[in-house]
Structure 1
């Protein structure tokens, strides 16, 4: 099957199958899997136009709502946290889209920076995981356990909520600024930013993965809508470049993602939190390694 915007020929069953496998695993860590689909599209399928970022964000739009609905149904959506993430990332993703089109059609050097950031976060999380274990409240128990969250208070300075008998508190301006920076990076690469902001929540703020997954997915969804609309709106002003998403390819990826993210959200609470953190570490280090190795190979070529 030929996809004209992407300029590639691929069997129609491959995108949804790959998207299902990637999003099932990634969604348990609060990610959509778009950050893994991007290198698959570029390296395996040969989709290298700037529009691959918009296509990746289209996948998020189609796939994420099923997982968000599951988290809402189980009472694990921390809505104030979600609002802070969305408000912070939306302007960032627009700035990132402009940078991607005007200045980084081949953002090789910027990938090195992102890779180093992810590498630092990944090693920080490994150091914490290899340290003394925290109390057993972090482990996942049976389905009958209470996984709901209760917001204690939130304002422009601070927010606090409880989860499984523990109180978690963080700075609202700090989360907002971090979300803005992540939005810029997400806008450039078309990944929504969940792959970067989720480990920040876990490593720097000590928030449980069970409670941040819904917020990061919802934030990724809203910013992806913004990104796709912006890329589509910019397309007429750059007639010689492929900027708008490949709707057919994006929808095929999204169909696999719908099932994958829903199943991942459904199965997440049966996974121990330390296991989810190790999964997040492996994803971070693998992504960072790919970005850095790509830059080194480019220098040696």
Structure 2
């Protein structure tokens, strides 16, 4: 029954979140903590395992429909690697305190939800044009992307959400990217962060660094990921009929409500 719940939960959240560049892991944290009774850094590690299984299919589909962003994907992936290791280290030390973890989770979810609810459709999908006077606008843009992806990976690995759920709203709302362009870069960041972060958690558990358990629950993570892989394909197909705005609003509302519930729990 536990694995069936995991499969269904993974499918449901991925169907809503994958089309806007979010793996769905942020909404699976409450499922693990409340419904499945998991605790400690293993919750974050299991969420990253979900991302490793669920993200590649959706990412491959997005790559085929959003060509021309190879450089941006590479920049985001390279920036995510060291930050993912650092994020896992923070989780097994300072964030091993459940109160600290729940408070950070509530703040992140409220911020993400608010951003998704208020952001408007971007006016242009193309990257900024090169500076014909010899400037460095493209390089500056890559530097800012690397900084944003690194920060998203740091928090994403620590909480267990991968980072795309933080990066995608930022790219859409602050940088003015279209959802399709932001989604492929955000999911690339999520997959890189998840692979590296999961490896770090398993290593920390093996050598006894920080709080235990830090290794993922492999059966739950794989079940979540199997459902998520199917859900992401359904969600991407669904988005072609519904459009971006309804899915973005629904996702923003779900994340905001969940964040409010966690914040109320922390305050009480």
TM-score (ref. length: structure 1):
0.77
Aligned residue in 2 for 1:209: 179
Q: Structure 2 CA distance, aligned partners of 1:243 and 1:221?
A: 19
Cα deviation code 1:252-298 (max 9, x no counterpart) = 1111111011222233233323323323432442343234222212x
Aligned residue in 2 for 1:5: none
Alignment of 1:125-164 (within 5 A): 126-127=117-118, 129=120, 158-159=137-138
- Count of paired positions: 264
**Aligned partners of 1:80 and 1:154 also within 8 Å:** no
> What is the CA-CA distance between 1:113 and the residue it aligns to?
4.8
**Aligned partners of 2:80 and 2:150 also within 8 Å:** yes
Structure with higher strand content: 1
Report the aligned-residue RMSD.
2.9
* Residue 183 (structure 1) aligned with residue 174 (structure 2): no
Pick aligned residue for 1:281 from 245, 252, 256? 252
Unaligned runs of 5+ in 1: 1-9, 139-148, 161-169
Q: Which moved more, 1:120-129 or 1:30-39?
A: 120-129
**Aligned partners of 1:122 and 1:281 also within 8 Å:** yes
Cα deviation code 1:119-144 (max 9, x no counterpart) = 35644554555xxxx79x79xxxxxx
Q: Structure 2 CA distance, aligned partners of 1:59 and 1:121?
A: 20
Aligned residue in 1 for 2:201: 231
Pair 1:125–1:213, CA change in 2 (3 A): closer
Q: Which moved more, 1:110-119 or 1:39-48?
A: 110-119
Q: Structure 2 CA distance, aligned partners of 1:37 and 1:157?
A: 41
Alignment of 1:225-264 (within 5 A): 225-238=195-208, 241-264=212-235
Q: Which moved more, 1:118-127 or 1:183-192?
A: 118-127
Pair 1:263–1:292, CA change in 2 (3 A): same
Pick aligned residue for 2:18 from 19, 23, 27? 27
**Aligned partners of 2:105 and 2:159 also within 8 Å:** no
Match of 2:3, SS state, is: coil
Cα deviation code 1:6-29 (max 9, x no counterpart) = xxxx43322111110111111122
Q: Tell which structure's C-alpha radius of gyration is larger.
A: 1
Cα deviation code 1:188-215 (max 9, x no counterpart) = 1111011111111111111111221122
Q: Structure 2 CA distance, aligned partners of 1:258 and 1:251?
A: 10
Pair 1:29–1:127, CA change in 2 (3 A): closer
* Residue 46 (structure 1) aligned with residue 17 (structure 2): no
Aligned residue in 2 for 1:145: none
Unaligned runs of 5+ in 2: none
Pick aligned residue for 1:93 from 79, 84, 87? 84
Aligned residue in 2 for 1:103: 94
Aligned residue in 2 for 1:68: 59
Pair 1:184–1:22, CA change in 2 (3 A): same
Q: Structure 2 CA distance, aligned partners of 1:171 and 1:115?
A: 30
* Residue 200 (structure 1) aligned with residue 177 (structure 2): no
Cα deviation code 1:131-168 (max 9, x no counterpart) = xxx79x79xxxxxxxxxx777878995449xxxxxxxx
Q: Structure 1 CA distance, aligned partners of 2:88 and 2:50?
A: 16
TM-score (ref. length: structure 2):
0.86
